[in-house]
Amino acid sequence: MTAEAGTAGARTTAVQPLLDLAVPAVLAVLAVTQLVAEQPPGDPTLLTVCALLAVLPLAARRRAPLPVTVAVCCGTVGQVLVTGGAPPTFASFVAVMVCVYTLARELRPARLAAGLAVVVAALAVLTLLQASTAPFTPFEFVYPLVYFGLAGGLGAFVRQRALRLSAVEERSVALEAELQRESELAAAEERSRIARELHDVVAHGMSLMVVQAEAAEELLTRSPEAAAEPLRRVQETGRQGLAEMRRLLGVLRTEGGPPSTAPQPSLRRLPDLVREAADAGLPVEVVVEGEQAELSPGLELAAYRIVQEALTNTRRHAHASRACVRLGYTADALGIEVTDDGRVAPGGREGHGLVGIRERAALYGGTSHAGPREGGGFRVTAVLPRGERP
C-alpha cells in the first residue's frame, strides 16, 4: 500500500494477500461461466478479455486503488461496446462495488473524489449505451448508485474505525513513553538523593577513622597492647567506608546538594518513625524476627529509608487503619516487610517512594517488591544482603 494511496490507519494481515488474490480469481470464474452460459453477441475472445480486465486488476486494488478502478471501469464499458449494448457480467458489477469500497477505505478525499468521478462517468456511459438499444428508465442509472453508495459508506466506516484505533494506539504509546520518562526521572532523583546520603555516611566514617587513628598513635607510645583495639576499629571502619565509597561512585550524579552535618538515621531510630506515624493517625506494629546484628551504617540507612518510604506511601495513598513493619534477621540478609490494610487504587501506588525503595535495595545487591496482598491492603518487601559486595 503506497503513501499516495493514503493508507493511514491501514492494518495489513496475513489474510489480506490471500483475499486480494481470491476475490478476482472467483469473479473471473463467475464472469467466464456467465459468458459461456449466456453466449452474448460480439467477438467471444474480445468479450472474454474485457470481462477479465474488469475483475483481475482487483488483485492490486490495495496498492493502486485509483488505477485499478480505471481498469475495471474500462473493462466493464468495453463489454457493452463489444456486445452492442448488452449488460456486462454480474462479476463486473461486483468488481466496481469492490473498487468503490477500496477507494473509500484507502484514499484521501481529493483522490477519492477523482476515483468516484471515474465510476460515475463509467456508469453514465453504460446507461447511454444501453439506452441506445433498449427503452431507458431512470431506475437503471439510480439503482447501481445505491449499491455503490453502500459500498463506499462501508469503506469510509472501516477507514474511520482504523484511524480511531491508530490514534488510540499512538496515544497509548505516547503515554507509555511519558510514564517511562517520569520513572527514569524519579529514579535519577532518588539516586542523587541516595548518593548525597551515602556521601554523609562516608564522611562520618572517615572522620571516625581519623579520631581512632590518632587515639591509636597516642596509645602506641604509652601502651602498644592497648593500641590494638583502636587499630582494629580503624581497619573495620575503613572496609565499611570503602564499600560505601563504591556504592557512592555507582550512583553519584553531577547534580548535588549541600552536605548535611546531621547524623544519618538508622534502624535505632525506628521507634521515632513509628511514633511519627502514630501521631499522623497510623498505628504501626513492629515485629523483629531473628537475632539482631550490627549492620554497616549504609545498610542501616537503606533499611531505615525503605521502612520510612513504605510508611509514607501508606499514609499518603492507602487510607489504612493500621500497618505492620516486620524485620527478619538471618545470617546473610536483612528482610523487611511493611504491610497495611488500606485500599489499592487501580494501577497500584507507583511513585517516587517505591522507586526509591527499588533503588536502595538494588544498591546493596538486594531485591524488592511492592503490590497488593491477598485479603486486601498493600505489601512492600525488601531483602538486603548483609555481606559487602565486591
Q: For residue range 130-171, list pLDDT tens digits in order.
A: 777 766 677 667 878 888 889 888 988 998 898 898 888 888
The residue ranking higher by pLDDT, 18 or 240, is 18
CATH assignment at residue 193: 1.20.5
Q: Where are the alpha helices (DSSP H) in the chain?
A: 15-38, 44-53, 65-83, 90-106, 109-131, 139-222, 228-251, 270-279, 297-317, 352-363
Domain count along the chain = 3
128 in the same domain as 22: yes
245 in the same domain as 277: no
Nearest to 306 by CA among 247, 245, 248, 381: 381
**pLDDT for the residue 340:** 92
Q: Which of 78, 106, 136 is the last residue of a domain?
A: 136
367 in the same domain as 303: yes
Query: 142 is written with which cell numbers?
Result: 439510480
pTM: 0.48
Report the half-sphere exposure of 197 (CA within 13 A, side-chain side): 20
Q: Which of 136, 165, 192 is the last residue of a domain?
A: 136
The residue ranking higher by pLDDT, 124 or 352, is 124
Determine how many CB atoms are found less than 10 A away from the CB of residue 252. Answer: 16
201 in the same domain as 110: no
279 in the same domain as 235: no
200 in the same domain as 296: no
**CB-based contacts of 185: which residues, under 8 Å, 6+ apart?**
none
| 42 within some domain | yes
| 147 within some domain | no
| 175 within some domain | no
User: What confidence tens digit (pLDDT) does each residue in 352-379 have?
Assistant: 457 778 888 888 889 999 989 888 889 9
124 in the same domain as 49: yes
**pLDDT for the residue 256:** 46
| 163 within some domain | no
CATH assignment at residue 339: 3.30.565.10
The Cα 331–Cα 361 span in angstroms is 18
96 in the same domain as 23: yes
Determine how many CB atoms are found less than 10 A away from the CB of residue 343. Answer: 13
130 in the same domain as 34: yes
Q: What confidence category does residue 257 fall into, taking pLDDT thresholds of 50, 70 and 90? A: very low
The domain containing residue 193 runs over which residues? 183-251
| 156 within some domain | no
Which residue, chain included where needed, has cell 475472445?
45
**CB-based contacts of 328: which residues, under 8 Å, 6+ apart?**
289, 290, 334, 335, 336, 337
| 111 within some domain | yes
* Range 49-71 average pLDDT: 91
Q: Give yes or no for residue 204 having a pLDDT over 70.
A: no
| 258 within some domain | no
Q: Which of 111, 136, 161 is the last residue of a domain?
A: 136
| 171 within some domain | no
325 in the same domain as 245: no
189 in the same domain as 100: no
